[in-house]
Structure 1
Amino acid sequence: MNLFRHRPTGLPALVLLIAAAGCSSADDNASTAVPSPGAKTAKLCRALDKVLPSKVDGESRHDPEPASALTAGWGSPEIILRCGVTRPPKMIDPKVPLGTDPDAMAGGVNGVNWLMEKPDGGGTRFTTATLSAYVEVTVPEDADSSGVLIDLAPAIKKAIPEGIAD
């Protein structure tokens, strides 16, 4: 699947792509890095995009740049959803059991299991667990994390089946 409309050419385009990939999703003017999952996961993510709510935590949807069915956003500062991300390192380190790292905790909200992390830049990052695709949701500090997860749970359960993500 080609997520870009035009193939970047030359050094300026390469610099722009590198800069966009490194931007924080919590910045209102920043680009959001689009995941690049395999075909099976991308299909699940496109199905999720079709059933996502128009409002999350009372905030209207306005998707981040670059436009992609793998990303969605609500509010300002933005609540950012990225579907098809890679498994978070704290989810796979057998030496660090979930629940023992103060910066990573596990829990469930309305039938969706999450890994919760506190990234250095502030806010909270949640990544689904026990589903066939990893869905990451970044919530700014001033948003109600539980409200966000409650609003997103029905769509995630509908589009992403339980299983082990690739």
Structure 2
Amino acid sequence: MTSFGRRLLRPVFLGPSAALVLLAGCSGGDATASVTVPSPSPEAAAYCRALDGELPDTVGGLERSDPEPASELTAGWGDGAIVLRCGVERPAKMDDDQSKGITASGVNWMLEQRENDGPRLTTTLRKTYVEVSLSEAYAHDTTPLAAFAPAVKKTIPNRF
């Protein structure tokens, strides 16, 4: 196991009170969200199709509003406030043993802070990578990840 993998075993757990911050601080994103659709392997695409069928209709009070172009590999909530892409490439930052990781409801995520935008998180230790981009409203609040955990755990197996 790499040092990055060991690092993820020391997670930061998100408490239920963080959900109150999420609900108080929600704001919509772009009116017409647009994303790049990933091009995963056939095996990864099958996991992603299964994930798409299990994703929640609402996350943090935001209704599902999928980005363009329509794809089973992408999903969105709140007109771009939360965007999920499944089957993305393994982020290069996963090789950096200084990368930060968190666990939300039993799913490990690598955290990337983006300049002038909210955080981007990518699953780790799963057979395919799921990326969630959050708007600036979530700069210090990653509780939407807990809403995705049941679907990820059900449809995308662990690597080990």
| Superposition TM-score, scaled by structure 2 size | 0.76
**What is the CA–CA distance in structure 2 between the aligned matches of 1:56 and 1:30, rounded to whole Å?**
16
Q: SS where residue 73 of structure 1 aligns?
A: strand
Structure 2: gaps (5+ residues): 1-28
Query: 1:75 matched to which residue of 2?
Result: 78
Query: 2:34 matched to which residue of 1?
Result: 31
Counterpart selection for 1:125 from 120, 127, 152: 120
Runs of 4+, deviation exceeding 4 Å? none
In the comparison of the two structures, how many residue pairs are matched? 131
Query: 2:94 matched to which residue of 1?
Result: 91
Counterpart selection for 1:138 from 125, 133, 136: 133
Counterpart selection for 1:112 from 101, 107, 110: 107
Counterpart selection for 1:57 from 56, 60, 65: 60
CA contact (8 A) 2:121 2:132 kept: yes
| Superposition TM-score, scaled by structure 1 size | 0.74
Query: 2:16 matched to which residue of 1?
Result: none
CA RMSD in angstroms comes to 1.6
Structure 1: gaps (5+ residues): 1-25
**What is the CA–CA distance in structure 1 between the aligned matches of 2:141 and 2:91, rounded to whole Å?**
19
Query: 1:148 matched to which residue of 2?
Result: 144
Question: How far 1:53 moved relative to its partner?
Answer: 0.3
Q: SS where residue 156 of structure 1 aligns?
A: helix
Report the residue type matching 2:72 in the other structure: A
**What is the CA–CA distance in structure 2 between the aligned matches of 1:30 and 1:64, rounded to whole Å?**
5
Report the residue type matching 1:152 in the other structure: F
Relative distance call for 1:133 and 1:33 in structure 2 (3 A) is same
**What is the CA–CA distance in structure 1 between the aligned matches of 2:34 and 2:89, rounded to whole Å?**
19
State the structure with more CA Rg: 1
Percent of aligned pairs with the same amino acid: 47
